[in-house]
Amino acid sequence: MLEIKNLHASVEGEDIEILKGVNLKVNAGEIHAIMGPNGSGKSTLAKVVSGHPEYEVTEGEILFNGEGITELDADERAHMGLFLAFQYPVEVPGITNKTLLREAYNTIARANDREELDPLEFEDYITEKLDVIEMKDQFLSRSINTGFSGGEKKKNEIFQMAVLNPVLSFLDETDSGLDIDALKVVSEGVNKIANDKNAIVMITHYQRLLNYIKPDHVHVMMGGKLIKSGGFELAEELEANGYDALEKELVLNGEAQ
Amino acid sequence: MSEVIQRDTMLSYITGSVESSAESVAIRAINERGREDLEKTPFPTRKDEDWRFVDLKSITKSQFCKLEEANAAAVGDISEHYLPEAMNCRLVFVNGVYNEELSSVEDLPNNVIVGNLAANADNNSVKEHLGTITNYDDDVFAPFNDAAFTDGAFIYVPEETVVRTPIHILNVFTDAEKAFYATPRLLYVGEMFSKSTIIEEHIGLADNQYLNVPVTEFKMFTGSNVHHARIQRDSKKASHVSRPIAILDKNAEYHSYTICLGAKLFRNDPRVIQNAEEVNFTVDGLVLIDGDQIADTHSIMDHRFAHAGSHQLHKVVVNDSAHSVFNGKIFVAKDAQKIDSFQENRNLLLSENGKVNTKPQLEIFADDVLCSHGATIGQLQDEEVFYLQSRGLTEQKSRELLVYAFALESVESMEVESVEKLLLNEVIEYTNRDEK
Ligand SMILES: Nc1ncnc2c1ncn2[C@@H]1O[C@H](COP(=O)(O)OP(=O)(O)OP(=O)(O)O)[C@@H](O)[C@H]1O
Ligand SMILES: [Mg+2]
């Protein structure tokens, strides 16, 4: 589904390389986790895949269902089924959640020759989706993320994911800011959305999320690269020993640069 | 050879003389006063503090004639501009001239007057208040209107009377062979505890050059209440210089909302003057300009007595090489304690060549007052655009929604549904023009 090959990316117009050769393959039905220290490039990877104009791909490629997407705008990628749950969801005063989601849902539907929903049909449709993560309907008529608590913002991202029903989702630190109850609810929601036709890449610092959403693959990102991949046990190892131990081990084995 | 250098007056840009043909003695007296003021007041230049940022070329590079000499087109069907809520409460002025045929005033509460000034020149309220409220020192535009007007709109709401239908004052301007001037006039007298909603519109039906210099006077008696929306959609070649002023007695409320969409040059000097204790007023504005439009608001909120609540939210969107100027004066006199005044000017710059000058000006001589003011100039946030785009919205749609959201608050104050709809469409049209 997604294939990232030797991806290098810099800040647009500047000589700051952040991604330095990322390789990643995600198949339908899989759940991946990316862990790594602050500033290692996790969010940048997610943003570059979603088409953030702040970054420029200088080398390598991103294939989505076999098609190169690095030249596409963010909305075109969203139409193909890409979704990013932001680490820092943006507040947009004056535009309600519902307005955004209806516009987004119908734009994506149009792009894929699917039927659009009229306001009444859409009302029914999102009301149903509110249940996925136990969100109160008052959030629909509030301005996007404006005045939301940290946890509410994260929940809202997953709600949007439920409504837009993407093929491939990057969840960037969706767990941070959620208390334990909210984490359970959100995780259950994500598990309900996950199926054998879509895929999820979670970015997190904590194993606790992975206890609720079991990843098939865990990757460690350091210095703009995925330096190690493995199964769930890799997350446990990181939780127990930290990144420094991993880095030393890699150096000893001559695997680091 | 030394000659006294004489500065130009307003009359330098007018062909022929400004002579009154008004029948009413009262109006002619005001005309006379206006002419005297005009002759002795120099036309402003950039050296005048209040005109520092404005390019007045679109007036000074032209000559404006009387309507009669302009060979103006007859008005066609303008029913698309009628407000459904005000079908029977509408005064129409074509190029500044009252048009009885297109106007429609029916079923108003007893003794309410919605009519033209000339026909009501003998009314006591007209005699008493017309021309007495305007108060602009060293000004050439209010005197120009004073000198040239022969008619206008007159609204009178008697004591304890509520007019539930919005009152629509529709000024339309037709195409013409020559650039002409128009001097629309509006006198509003609200007796004690009266209430009404006024929608004052200026619409350029064609793309011609004209000079629109309206004066509106609001006399608000004790406990009276007015919601005054002003929508300026003049031709993109027109110059519009407005002098709207309101004077408030005890417990009066005057809420004004000025929407600027049209005109090449728009200069608006709203003034609200407190005439007794305990009043409430609003001087909001929404400006959406692009191309080479100039919109300049110089407002005064004049607190002269204790206990006033006043509010000013001035929102501006600038595109292309348009230029917005805002100077919001808040005066609080020495004994005017317990004033709660709020002013905010928010500017959204959509282009690199757009220009914004903003200057709050507080002159406060009382000590127990709460006055806050702020001004921001920002661009559309890239993060906001990306956020919406990442959800599937096109970049154009994302920008459109963000501008829409910015303007929405001001539009929602209109209180008349069809006007809100009309303005929302204008906002959408404005953001679509952004498409390059
Ligand atoms: N627009 C930018 N301009 C300059 N530097 C940037 C820009 N965007 C990201 N960076 C830098 O790139 C590096 C990677 O940032 P990124 O946000 O991807 O890290 P992260 O792995 O998500 O970290 P965290 O765990 O703290 O979220 C950081 O050093 C960051 O400061
Ligand atoms: Mg991050």
Task: Give the CATH number for residue A248.
Answer: 3.40.50.300
Are B382 and A94 a contacting pair at CB < 8 A? Answer: no
At A22-53, the pLDDT tens digits run: 999 999 999 999 999 999 999 999 999 999 99
Residue B91 lies in a domain: yes
Residues B357 and B417 in one domain: no
pLDDT in tens, A93-146: 889 999 999 999 999 999 999 999 999 999 999 999 998 888 888 889 999 999
End-to-end CA distance of chain B: 56
Count of structural domains, chain B: 2
Are both B233 and B160 inside the same structural domain? yes
pLDDT of B44 over the 90 cut: yes
Tell me what the mean pLDDT of segment B179-199 comes to: 98
- Residues of B within 8 A of A53 (CB-CB) are 382, 386
**B84 and B47 belong to one structural domain:** yes
Query: B3 in a domain, yes or no?
Result: no
What is the domain count for chain A? Answer: 1
Q: Cα(B382) to centroid of ligand 1, in Å?
A: 17
pLDDT digits (tens, 9 = 90+) for B416-435: 999 999 998 898 888 877 54
Same domain, yes or no: B265 and B189: yes
Domain hosting residue A38, numbered range: 2-252
Read off the pLDDT of residues B387-420 as tens digits, 9 standing for 90 and up: 999 999 999 899 989 998 998 888 888 889 999 9
Same domain, B252 and B173: yes
**Whether residue B170 is found in the same domain as residue B217:** yes
A153 burial via Cβ count (<10 Å: 0-12, 13-18, 19+): buried
A245 located within any domain: yes
Are B393 and B278 part of one and the same domain? no
In a domain, B4, yes or no: no
Quote the pTM value.
0.84
**Partner A contacted by B390 (CB < 8 A):** yes
- A212: CA distance to ligand 2 center in Å? 21
The domain of B31 spans: 10-383
The model's confidence at residue A257, banded by pLDDT at 50, 70 and 90, is very low
B369 & B393 share domain? no
- Judging contacts by C-beta atoms under 8 Å, the chain B residues touching residue A107 are 392-394, 397
Say if residue B114 is in the same domain as residue B142: yes
Least confident span in A22-36, B302-316, B366-380: B366-380
Residue at A78 is within a domain: yes
Residue A257 resides in a domain: no
